[in-house]
Amino acid sequence: MASSNFIDYVKINCRSGAGGAGSVHFRREKHVPKGGPDGGDGGGGGHIILRGNSQHWTLLHLKYRKHIKAEPGKAGEGGRRTGHEGEDVILDVPLGTIARHAETGEHMAEITADGQEIILLPGGRAGLGNDHFKSATKQTPYYAQTGESEREEWIILELKLLADIGLVGFPNAGKSTLLSVMSAARPEIADYPFTTLVPNLGVVAYRDYKSFVMADIPGIIEGASQGKGLGLRFLRHIERNSVLLFMVPVTADDIRAEYNTLVNELHQYNPELSDKERLLAITKTDLVTDEELDTIRKSLPERVKTVFISAINQQGLTELKDAIWQTLSDAQVIVQTGE
């Protein structure tokens, strides 16, 4: 996915349709000179609707569509004829899209399933015709309801990628290489920081035709939670991952300190991320000897399952997949039981 085409944030102006006015009309025919009221109702205004579409991976199609207007409802007519309903505007968005009010930050909607529809801005209600206001004491009402006004708001749409596994690490930790080896994804890979400028998704095949989705998040640096580097821009994508796979290269000066820094940055950004299930992968093990690995094992972080891997030599990948699947299964059990 080209970096210029990955858009995960747009601000749009939305206006729903106004409701059509009810009609003030009286039945007038040759043999019925003083017929009663027969004004029809107006048509309802069109809605602005968000719809989940699994074929979309970005908000690019909305980047240059700043003003979105639904159709107003038509006025009612005589003979109790109802006005036409205003046509809705449906905005297809990727799964994981969240809508917020631009001024207040209020959460308005969240799309998580294909085909899911949520009315973002409802259209105005239609006005009732004068036929509804007749009574024994008022047989000729000369009034009807006006339609409800449209609603207009500036709305922010944010995409937070939905994935089972989120890869978390400093630049050059080997995240893109791992994704390319374990899935069919082909992210840009090079030996310099910030090769990955956009999140990448890949589907990883597992045993018995099972699979899980892995997301390669652009590298975090110390201070990312305060806006340094690329971190703040992409940290929100980590919020939607079921399990976090922390990746630290075996060549790091202090593996425990680097892991703790990553954990701290996520906690500073959103304390709830500290509650997510996590794994630790020590990468690039092909660069050290077995004796050095034995020494490293003695200084690993506590209370986190650790797997040693080499994406280049494809060592430890089966063990990593097993650990990921087991952790995903455990996380699913916790969600279902509410523990």
For the residues of 225-253, what is the DSSP string, one character each? GGT-TTHHHHHHHHTTEEEEEEEEETT-S
CB within 8 Å of 289: residues ≥ 6 apart = none
> Which of the four pLDDT bands, split at 50, 70 and 90, describes residue 335?
very low
> Which of the four pLDDT bands, split at 50, 70 and 90, describes residue 214?
confident
- Reply yes or no on whether the pLDDT at 195 is more than 80: no
In the chain, what are the domains?
A: 1-159 (2.70.210.12), 163-337 (3.40.50.300)
Where is mean pLDDT largest: 47-56, 159-168, 240-249? 47-56
Q: Which of 124, 119, 181, 130 is nearest to 149 (CA)?
A: 124
Neighbours of 3 (CB within 10 A): 10
Task: For residues 194 and 181, give the distance between their C-alpha atoms in angstroms, rounded to a whole number.
Answer: 19
**pLDDT 10s digits, 83-128:** 999 999 999 998 889 999 999 989 999 998 999 999 999 999 999 9
Q: What angle do CA 298, 300, 304 make, to 5 degrees?
A: 130
Placement of tokens 């059990």 in the chain: 333
H helices of the chain, where?
Answer: 60-63, 175-182, 231-238, 255-269, 290-297, 317-337
- What are the residues facing 148 on neighbouring strands? none
- Reply yes or no on whether the pLDDT at 278 is more than 80: yes
- What are the residues facing 52 on neighbouring strands? 93
